[in-house]
Amino acid sequence: MKIYIISDIHLVAPGTTSKGMDSAQRLQWSFDDLATNHADAAFCVLLGDLADHAEAEAYRSLRSIIASVRTPVITLLGNHDDRATYLAETPEAETDADGFVQAVRDTPMGRLIFLDTAETGYVTGHLCAKRQAWLAARLAEAAGTPVYLFMHHPPFDTGAKVDQLKFKDGAALAAMIAEHGQVRHIAAGHTHRICGGVWRGTAFSNLGSTTYNTGVHLTEMPGTGARYDESVNVGIMLVTEEQIVLHAHDVNPYRQPLPMVLFPQKRLEEIYARGGKLAAD
Ligand SMILES: [Fe+2]
């Protein structure tokens, strides 16, 4: 199963930019890559921070851009979003019984659970008692089935100052994961930086943004870390029963491929044919 993940798109009203970047164009590059190279993806997940300033025009723009995407798109909210404005502009949005933008998809590889960690008035991520109860019920009804969590705010630390703005209900989440025992992977955004690892025994991936990205500016380093207009990052997650791998991919169409003469394919194919052996006997 392939899942195409796009995070922190920070859309703005048409005709304006986000920190000088055309975030709608960058999202379109991602969707173009999805259509051209990954039309077999089961889902495309937008991991929150859909809008930069939560303007109604930005959500309207998102809705019209998504309308031409053939892959099923699932959207999460982030700290830049406003739930009421998003829902007002997205009448088809899926919510739980309490009005949070949370959803489930059952697939041959297991259950995908999409969490709403946005909390009005906070940059940090939260799951209130209602959302925790919803998650516990979704985990319980899928007992014995592998589960993949998608959430804007990372529950794990990345070693950078942004950790102060992470998901704040990590202890409750970790307890639920431990109790139910079937969560295989957590995908999060928010940090505008790609990394991966293991949090309390559960594998995670942290996606970069399609707008600006942050350097490796760790907590102990002095000053404020720079932000970069660099690659336009998306994630391509490949899930099998044996493994999960997430490819970080740059969809910036202006990146320059190196001349293929530097990578002689005939020699590589000979090595492939020899099962990795460098030279013939
Ligand atoms: Fe963001």
Task: Convert the pLDDT of each residue in 255-278 to its tens digit.
Answer: 898 999 999 889 999 999 999 999
Q: Which residues contact 273 (CB under 8 A, 6 or more apart)?
A: none
State in Å: Cα 127 to ligand 1 middle.
18
Domain boundaries, the chain: 2-256
Give the pLDDT confidence score for residue 224 in this predicted structure.
87
If we measure between CA atoms, which residue out of 72, 130, 50 comes closest to residue 97?
130
Amino acid letter, residue 36: T
In contact, 101 and 116? CB cutoff 8 Å: yes
Task: Convert the pLDDT of each residue in 34-89 to its tens digit.
Answer: 999 999 999 999 999 999 999 999 999 999 999 999 999 999 999 999 999 999 99
pLDDT at 231 over 90: no
Q: Specify the 3-state DSSP secondary structure of 56.
A: helix
In contact, 26 and 233? CB cutoff 8 Å: no
Q: Kindly list the distances between the CA atom of residue 84 and the CA atoms of 23, 55, 93, 101, in Å, as whole numbers in the listed order.
A: 22, 11, 11, 10
State in Å: Cα 140 to ligand 1 middle.
31
State in Å: Cα 81 to ligand 1 middle.
10
State in Å: Cα 148 to ligand 1 middle.
21
- What is the arithmetic mean of pLDDT over 101-123? 98
DSSP-derived pairing of the beta strands 110-114 and 103-107:
antiparallel
Q: Which two tokens stand for residue 41?
A: 């993806």
Task: Convert the pLDDT of each residue in 197-211 to its tens digit.
Answer: 999 999 999 999 999
Task: Convert the pLDDT of each residue in 136-172 to its tens digit.
Answer: 999 999 999 999 999 999 999 999 999 999 999 999 9
State in Å: Cα 7 to ligand 1 middle.
8
State in Å: Cα 258 to ligand 1 middle.
31
% residues pLDDT > 90 (the chain):
93
Q: Kindly list the distances between the CA atom of residue 94 and the CA atoms of 8, 13, 126, 179, 246, in Å, as whole numbers in the listed order.
A: 20, 23, 19, 27, 26
State in Å: Cα 80 to ligand 1 middle.
7
Q: Which residues contact 184 (CB under 8 A, 6 or more apart)?
A: 110, 146, 147, 148, 202, 203, 244
State in Å: Cα 17 to ligand 1 middle.
15
pLDDT at 9 over 90: yes
The domain 2-256: what is its CATH number?
Answer: 3.60.21.10
State in Å: Cα 112 to ligand 1 middle.
22
Task: Convert the pLDDT of each residue in 90-101 to its tens digit.
Answer: 999 999 999 999
pLDDT, averaged across the chain: 96
State in Å: Cα 67 to ligand 1 middle.
23
State in Å: Cα 51 to ligand 1 middle.
9
Task: Convert the pLDDT of each residue in 14-30 to its tens digit.
Answer: 999 999 999 999 999 99
Give the pLDDT confidence score for residue 281 in this predicted structure.
87
In contact, 159 and 196? CB cutoff 8 Å: no
